[in-house]
Amino acid sequence: MIRYIVILVFLLSGCASTTLKTDSEVDRNQFLLLPNYMALSMAEDAYRQEIKNAEDNNDLNVNEEQVLRIKKIAFRLIDQVHVFRDDASDWNWEVNVQKSEEVNAYCMPGGKIMVYSGIIEKTDATDDELAAMIGHEIAHALREHGRERMSTAFVQQVGLIGFAAYLSGKDGNRLSKEVALQAAALGATLFFALPNSREQEREADKIGLELAARAGYNPMAAVSLWRKMDALSDAKIPEFLSTHPSNENRIEDIAKDARKINYLYIENKKTNQITK
Ligand SMILES: [Zn+2]
């Protein structure tokens, strides 16, 4: 009986939109079976591991100028996350830069951002373009796309009943330490291995544009950024582009959405210029 109640509770909690409906009009109901605290603890562990690896290789935040630039842009975007959800300003946001040839950037659940130097240097990105990229990654976290992907994968792997049993464990719905550890390892794998769906990419594009515009960055820069990324894909760039397939249709959609949201940029540009 308790298992069915658990399933029911998760199903009910799973049918909602994680963000408020804003100017970019994203309000899809989401499949979120995995409890948020689990997604967050998995993300925290995975991020700490990435930080440690980078530190061990002397690759963490080595270029001071680059780090300052990325942090300044990221925190200007983070200043606007409250528009999309009430709790997001209180997240424990972290922004780091990893020295790497890889063209990659991500924002894990709970606001753990990593930008690789490869993506900054190989695209020779402007501040507006970096804001477009980081805004897109933050949007994935605000929408809890990672948690959504993990939920789908868990259910596919163990089935709904098994999943509920897995969560409920021996004593109600608290995880045993061992199970939690296994889950953290699995979570890290899932976060990095599973691509976002096309729908999720579309949402991250829209919210990313709005976030950038609200922070006073030109949303049209998303178009030039993705064109640069597209050009790079000829030179065989793996991770980021395999999860962010860029094509003419997508770029056209981004251009259309950027024009639609441009009024927010015009409104916010002045405020930011004064306070900059
Ligand atoms: Zn994406």
Say how many Å lie between the CA of residue 209 and the centre of ligand 1: 12
Tell whether the model's pLDDT for residue 3 goes beyond 70.
no
Question: 92 CA to middle of ligand 1, Å?
Answer: 21
In a domain, 21, yes or no: no
Residues 6+ apart with CB under 8 A from 179: 166, 169
State the total domains in the chain: 1
Assess if residue 20 is contained within a domain: no
| Comparison of pLDDT for 63 and 39, the residue scoring more | 63
The CA–CA distances, whole Å, from 201 to 99, 123, 166, 233 equal 26, 20, 30, 18
Residue 24 lies in a domain: no
Does residue 162 fall inside a structural domain?
yes
246 closest CA partner among 195, 193, 201, 207: 201
The answer to whether 120 and 158 have CB atoms below 8 angstroms apart is no
Render pLDDT for 161-201 as a digit per residue (tens, 0 to 9). 555 566 655 454 455 556 555 655 666 666 666 777 888 99
Mean pLDDT of 102-114: 94
**Residue 150 confidence (pLDDT):** 81
Q: Which amino acid is at 238?
A: P
Confidence grade of residue 14 (pLDDT, cut at 50, 70, 90): low
pTM of the full predicted structure?
0.83
How much of the chain exceeds pLDDT 70, in percent? 74
The CA distances from residue 18 to 26, 105, 272, in Å, are 10, 22, 28
Kindly give the distance from the C-alpha atom of residue 18 to the centroid of ligand 1, in angstroms, as a whole number.
Answer: 17
Instruction: Return the pLDDT at 110.
Output: 95
Q: Tell me the two tokens of residue 79.
A: 């200043």
Query: In angstroms, what is the span from residue 205 Cα to ligand 1's centroid?
Result: 7
Q: Are strands 94-98 and 112-116 parallel, antiparallel or unpaired?
A: parallel
136 Cα to the center of ligand 1, angstroms: 6
Q: Which residue has the higher pLDDT, 217 or 272?
A: 217
Q: Does 238 map to a domain? A: yes
pLDDT of 144 > 50? The answer is yes
User: If you measure from the C-alpha of residue 164 to the centroid of ligand 1, how many angstroms do you get, rounded to a whole number?
Assistant: 29
User: What range defines the domain where residue 212 resides?
Assistant: 2-13+32-275
The per-residue pLDDT for range 88-103, each reduced to its tens digit, is 999 999 999 999 998 8
Residue 98's DSSP bridge partners are: 60, 116
Q: Compute the distance from residue 226 Cα to the ligand 1 centre, in Å.
A: 11
Considering the domain boundaries, does residue 136 fall inside one? yes
Lowest mean pLDDT among 114-118, 184-188, 198-202, 235-239: 235-239
Long-range CB pairs of 150-158 (<8 Å, 24+ gap) are 150/34, 150/39, 150/42, 150/187, 150/190, 150/191, 150/194, 151/14, 151/31, 151/32, 151/33, 151/34, 152/31, 153/190, 153/194, 154/33, 154/34, 155/33
By three-state DSSP, how is residue 58 classified?
coil
Residue holding tokens 């405020």?
Answer: 271
Assigned token pair, 18: 């994680």
Are 141 and 92 within 8 A, CB to CB?
no
E strand or H helix that includes residue 123: helix 117-123
Model pLDDT, residue 240: 56
What does the pLDDT read at residue 112?
Answer: 97
Indicate whether 22 belongs to any domain. no
CA of 81 to the centre of ligand 1 (A): 17
Is 62 within the bounds of a domain? Answer: yes
Q: What one-character-per-residue DSSP string does 62-109 give?
A: --HHHHHHHHHHHHHHHTTGGGT-TTGGGS--EEEEE--SS--EEEET
pLDDT given for residue 18 in this prediction: 87
pLDDT at 276: 47
Report, as residue numbers or ranges, the catalytic residues.
Answer: 137
